[in-house]
Structures are given as structure tokens and as C-alpha cells.
Structure 1
Amino acid sequence: MAFKSLRVLHVETGRHLYGGAYQVLLLLRGLASLGVENILCAPPESAIARAAGPYATVVPLKITGELDPRLPWILWTAMDRWRPHLVHAHSRRGADWWAGLVAWRRRIPSVVTRRVDNPENAALARLKYGFFGRIIAISEAIARILRAQRVRAEKIRIVKSCIEPERFGNPYPREKVLRDFGLSQNSTLIGTVAQLIVRKGHARLIDVAPDVTGRYPAAHFCFFGQGPLMKALRRRAQFRKVFEHVHFLGFREDMDRIFPCLDLLVHPATMEGLGVCLLEAAAAGVPIVAGRAGGIPEIVHHGINGLLIDPANERELLSAILRMLQSPEEARRMGTAGRHLVEAKFSLQAMVQGNVAVYREILEAS
């Protein structure tokens, strides 16, 4: 089959355009530039459904959640209508179950991208991934977990996430960001960009904040993201008496302009498939302190573009933050090294071509 005549049906159920959904948008754009016809099944109110129009035909995925019984029927109908040569499931939330099963029943080759590093029930994982011809892991860490669960190793391929470094070349003036956040012009901005959920480590960061602000009164912790722990984290900041130094700034669509204004990114996650926010920070030249977990060490090279710590060890977390604040020249050097690392190893072209190689492989095998 000529690649320009290829029709791929993608399934992405994420509501917001960050993390995995943003990677899907980049892939759609890259595939469209190669002449691939993309069909995207996505919730009609999702950000990717609105953004994907130039690169894909969007099929509304009107579901209420991953257990919505309409999902397999909608996917069946979409495959019947569009007759794709290949199905690519990009998210969980039921898509990784139903897309593979429905494609298998319709005898359409399929591939799934796995972005998270949390272990699944091994037996269920082998059953689920058995319907797919290939499983794309976005990091070596995720591939190791899949192999540990005895998912067939010959099906696993690694295609890492990417970033567009040029997006970070037009930052807001720093004084504007500080003014918008209600902070003084001499403030030091320590950012965390993640959902407000337990495994991202916000609580531990709040717990070390008093020691940081006690030594550096101009330090402010900026939490970008939303999630179920918002109220609990606010209470924790009040209890630790650092509420005036911890700022909950919600989900921002302009992080590409904010990132370069940060002095440090701290990501004490205990689980992470790879960490797109780390790629973004590196692309913006921001030094990083992050947990030695999941795929994070594939982005953060200790002593080169950041510091790796045991995310459960508050003493290590505090020590790493203080080292960065005490040594601004070293921090700047790490920020520069991070930018070079991203440009060399996490390019858009490499991500698109990696997926294309998997497509060719699975189509030739079918």
C-alpha cells in the first residue's frame, strides 16, 4: 500500500490538550503532512476535537466515561463508516480495551500507545494487549513494566514523546507574569506542572516549603494544574503556614509563554510514564528537580540538566531545591543543557517517524 493512501482511525478520549492528547495532535499534524488520512474519534467537547480539524476528520465520541456501554458500538460504527486500514488507540478510559477488541473483530490491524507506568493486573493486561498487533511504549520504563507483566515482548516498540522547542521562544515579559500572579518583582518562581493527584507529589513539596521559604523568603511555589486534591492541598498549605507562598494557578493553555519565566521546575512524582512537562521545562531552558521514577530519568540526567531525587524522601527533595537556589550559575548551566538535550533526542520528526515505522511494520505483517 502506498503510504499516502493510508487511512488511520485514532481514538483519544482525553478532555484537555496536554500530555497524551497534545502528543496525539502533534502526530495527527505530522501524519497529515505525509498524506495520511486521519480519522479522530474524540469527545466533541474536548480540546483536541476542536484543534484537530486541519489534520483529521473528527468523529464525535459521545460517551459519559470509560464504562459507557455505547463506546464499542460507536467505534464499530466509525470503523464501518470509514473503513480504516489501521486503528490507533491513544488513551485509556476504555479506549485501550474497546478499540483493540472492535478492530480485532473487524479484522483491522491495530496499535495502542501506552503512556502510563502504573502496573495493571497482569492477566488482564495480557488479554487486553493481545488484541493489538503492536504496543507503543513512550519510554523504556513503560516497556519494562509491560515485559514484567509478560505482555509479548515482540509486540512492544518504544517511541518517545516529543516537544516543539520553538514554542518556548516567545515568553511573556517576566514582570508581567509576576504582576499577573500578584507577586513582587524579586520573586523566585518554583513551578510544578501536573494534575493535583497523589502520585505527582504536591503534598511533599508543600511539606518542605517552610524550610525553603525560611531561607529564601522570595521563593514562591506555583502549582499549574487541576485535580481532586485542590482543597486538601490548600488546607495543607495553610496548616504549614506557607499559604502566601503556594499559589494554585489552575490549568493554563499558555504554559509555553510562562515556562521560560520559571526559575526552577520541581516534579517529585512517584510514578510517571515519561513526563511531557519535563520536556517542556527543558525546552524552555528551566533546570529541573524530579523524582527518580518511571521514565523521568530518560529526560532528567542527574547533574546535567537537573537533579534526581528519591521522590518519597523529603530531605533529598529539600536538599535538591536548596542546591538549585544556592547555585544560580549551576542552575542556568543545567537549563541550557536541557534545551540541547530536547533538541537532540525528543524531536517532533523522531516521534512521527517512529509511529510511521510501527504502522509500516504492522501493515506488512497483516
Structure 2
Amino acid sequence: MSTILRVLFLMEDLCYGGTQRQMLELARRLDRSRFAPVMLTLTGPTDLDGLAREAGIEVQHLGRDRRLAPFFFWRLRAALLRLRPQVLVPCTALPNIWGRIWGRWLGLPVVGTVRGGGGPRRQHERWLWRLTEHMICNSEALYQVLTGLGVPAGHLTYIANGVDTALYAPPQAPVSSRPPQLLCVSRLAGDKDHLTLFRAFARVRARHPEVRLCLVGDGPEEARLKDWAARHPEGAGIDFFPGRPDVRHFYAQARIFVLSSVREGQPNVLLEAMSSGLPVCATAVGGIPRLVRDGESGLLCPAGDDAALAAHILRLLDDPALGDGMGQAGRRRAEADFSFAAMVDAHEAVLSAVAARRRP
């Protein structure tokens, strides 16, 4: 009888966000006859705890609220000794730093993860990749960066994010039949460069004053962005909504999905938008060009170029048929290349191989 592997996902938090949601979907889909997923956060309970527990995932915390637990780096050692996983999978920067350090010290096999364009720098990958048994990244661009830092190809696996194409389904009516609403679902953080999006939106409103921008998410930039909206007349057309686990309602109302990031891995929200049949206007950074084929399923521009982003949005607004065609192309690509089944199978293969190498 095969041993069930206890896999610990070490997270900074379980707030609404692309990495958190993707790791939760991975954990809930792992084959329970082979894997027992556990989630440990550096904070207290947050947004997605309930969904994790509903999926039968054990959830543990080092803190009591949304702030990092005091001396979390020291408390983490005791938690790892208590939970004693067969494989440790740290996600995001702080877990990837301290999880690797304690994992190596305690003799735990660590599968490091690199997600997001700033991941290699924030996680000090030039030095800390050596503390891992294996590494997983979620974009080909990150794969190239990591191999350039010295990570051997045999130590690194690229696994694309997955999307539930049955859950995120396109409407029967063409998206061009909807009111002119732009949608951005993202964490309100500096990497997303929302001010460039706001400046592009101001240009669009000059020609189409009826256009609105729906911004869904939470994060440290929230106060700054709301202050910009309050000080500029175009801000009257921006609607802010907090993050939530189910955002299908917003995809179903939007006409164009927009993302103005300066750094990215492989944004899960782009997969959801494409699966929902929305044309995309985004920046050509990180793994985005791997997802969105410029001129086929969306339009890409350089980061920080609000004029180019506005021109692409205006092009889709002025040519509804083009937007409908790009949305349909995105849906076909999501179905063909980014299924959850392929993502989970690839992770299970890595986890099993790492555990087998370390088994006495």
C-alpha cells in the first residue's frame, strides 16, 4: 500500500489573490489517495480559509489577524517540526526565503516556487535556489530568468497555471452587445501599475465618456488609487470592488479585460478572462505574451505606456467584431492549453519524484 504524502503549502496569507487562488485550486485537486494537502500561513485567518476547509484541506496559522505573526520566522521552525510534512512547498517571497532556510535545516525536501515577474529578485534566487530539492515556475519567461541565474535545467520545471473552463464560460450573446465596461481584476499593488491604467482610461473617456472601469481587488495601493480617482474627473467612471473568491459576475458584465502590470509571471486572471470569452488589452511583460497572442486573442503594449494601452482599448471599442473574434480565440486557447488537469498532473509528478528521492 503506497504512502500518502503530506504536502505543506506555506503561504504568506490566504487573501484574495492570483497565487493564493491558484495554490488553493491545486491543493483541492490533488489526488487524495496519494497526497494529503496542508496549508500554513504566516498570518491569521483571511479570505480563503473557509473554501480551503470546505475542500477538506487542513489549515494552520502562525498569526491571529491579517498582519504577519510577530517573529514568524522563529515560530515557523516549531510549526514545521509539529506538522512534519514529507514535502514543503513555499509560495511567495517570505515563505520562499524562510521556508527554504528552515526546511534545509530540518531536513525537509523543499519544492520552491517562483511566481510573478519580481519573484527571482524578491526571493534572492541567485543564492537560495540551492536550498531546494526542486523548483517550479509558472511562466517560460521566469524559466529563462532562473536558468540565467544558474539554476540547472534538471532542477527546474515550468508548469503553466490552470483555469476551470467549465466554471469560467463565455456567454451565448457576443461580448460586444454589453455596455462599454472595462474590467481589471488584480491585487492593488505596485507591480500592477494601476496608475498607468487610470491614465489610459482618462484618454479613453475623452472620446467615449460613457465608458466605465471596474476595478476588483484589495492591497496596499488601495488608498493611493482611490485618492487619484477622487482628484481627477475621470475617477467618477472608476468603480472599486473588494476582492472575492467568485468573480464570474464581473467577467459576465465586462466588454474588455485590461491589465497594466510592469511585472508578471502568468496571471491567473488573464486565463479566467480568456476562458470567459473576453478580449484582452495588457502589457507585454513576463509570461503575458505566452498567454495572449498579440493581434489574435488580445492586444499587447509596453509597460508604462498609457497612450498605447488607450489606443488598444479604443480600437476594440470602435471595432466590436474585432473584440468578439479575439474573445473567441482566447476561449479556444484556454480550453486547448491551460486545463487544470494538466497543471495538477504536472505538480503531482514533481511532488512524487521529490519525495521518492528523499525517502530512506
* TM, length-normalised to structure 2: 0.88
Runs of 4+ in 1 over 6 A off after TM superposition: none
Distance 1:211 1:341, change over 3 A: same
Amino acid at match of 2:214: C
Q: 1:329 corresponds to which residue?
A: 321
The higher relative CO (CA closer than 8 Å, separation ≥ 6) is in: 2
Q: 2:228 corresponds to which residue?
A: 236
Task: Note if contact 2:13-2:44 (Cα within 8 Å) is conserved in structure 1.
Answer: no
Cα root mean square deviation, aligned: 2.7
Q: Distance in 2 between matches of 1:122 and 1:19?
A: 17
Structure 2: stretches of 5+ with no match in the other structure: none
Deviation at 1:216, TM superposition (A): 1.7
Report the secondary structure of 1:167's partner residue: coil
Distance 1:133 1:241, change over 3 A: same
Structure 1: stretches of 5+ with no match in the other structure: 175-184
Distance 1:237 1:137, change over 3 A: same
Alignment match of 1:316 (pick from 295, 299, 308)? 308
Q: 1:140 corresponds to which residue?
A: 140
Alignment of 1:219-230 (within 5 A): 219-230=211-222
Q: 1:28 corresponds to which residue?
A: 27
Amino acid at match of 1:36: F
Q: Distance in 2 between matches of 1:315 and 1:293?
A: 17
Task: Note if contact 1:168-1:257 (Cα within 8 Å) is conserved in structure 2.
Answer: no
Q: 1:100 corresponds to which residue?
A: 100
Report the secondary structure of 2:89's partner residue: strand
- CA shift digits 1:213-255 (9 cap, x unpaired): 2322221111112233334333433544212212222323331
Deviation at 1:122, TM superposition (A): 9.5
Distance 1:272 1:80, change over 3 A: same
Please tell me whether residue 255 in structure 1 is matched to residue 255 in structure 2. Answer: no
Task: Note if contact 2:16-2:217 (Cα within 8 Å) is conserved in structure 1.
Answer: no
Task: Note if contact 1:290-1:309 (Cα within 8 Å) is conserved in structure 2.
Answer: yes
Alignment of 1:148-159 (within 5 A): 148-159=148-159
Amino acid at match of 1:315: A
Q: 1:182 corresponds to which residue?
A: none
- CA shift digits 1:281-339 (9 cap, x unpaired): 11111100000001111111111110111122222112111110011111011111111
Task: Note if contact 1:186-1:218 (Cα within 8 Å) is conserved in structure 2.
Answer: no
- CA shift digits 1:117-151 (9 cap, x unpaired): 11655994233221111110011111222223333
* TM, length-normalised to structure 1: 0.87
Task: Note if contact 2:170-2:276 (Cα within 8 Å) is conserved in structure 1.
Answer: no
Task: Note if contact 1:72-1:99 (Cα within 8 Å) is conserved in structure 2.
Answer: no
Q: 2:205 corresponds to which residue?
A: 213
Q: Distance in 2 between matches of 1:235 and 1:59?
A: 36
State the aligned residue count. Answer: 352
Identical counterparts, % of pairs = 25
Amino acid at match of 2:301: I
Amino acid at match of 1:19: G
Alignment of 1:29-178 (within 5 A): 29-42=28-41, 43-53=43-53, 54-62=55-63, 68-74=70-76, 76-92=77-93, 94-118=94-118, 120-121=120-121, 124-169=124-169
Task: Note if contact 1:72-1:102 (Cα within 8 Å) is conserved in structure 2.
Answer: no
Task: Note if contact 1:129-1:135 (Cα within 8 Å) is conserved in structure 2.
Answer: yes
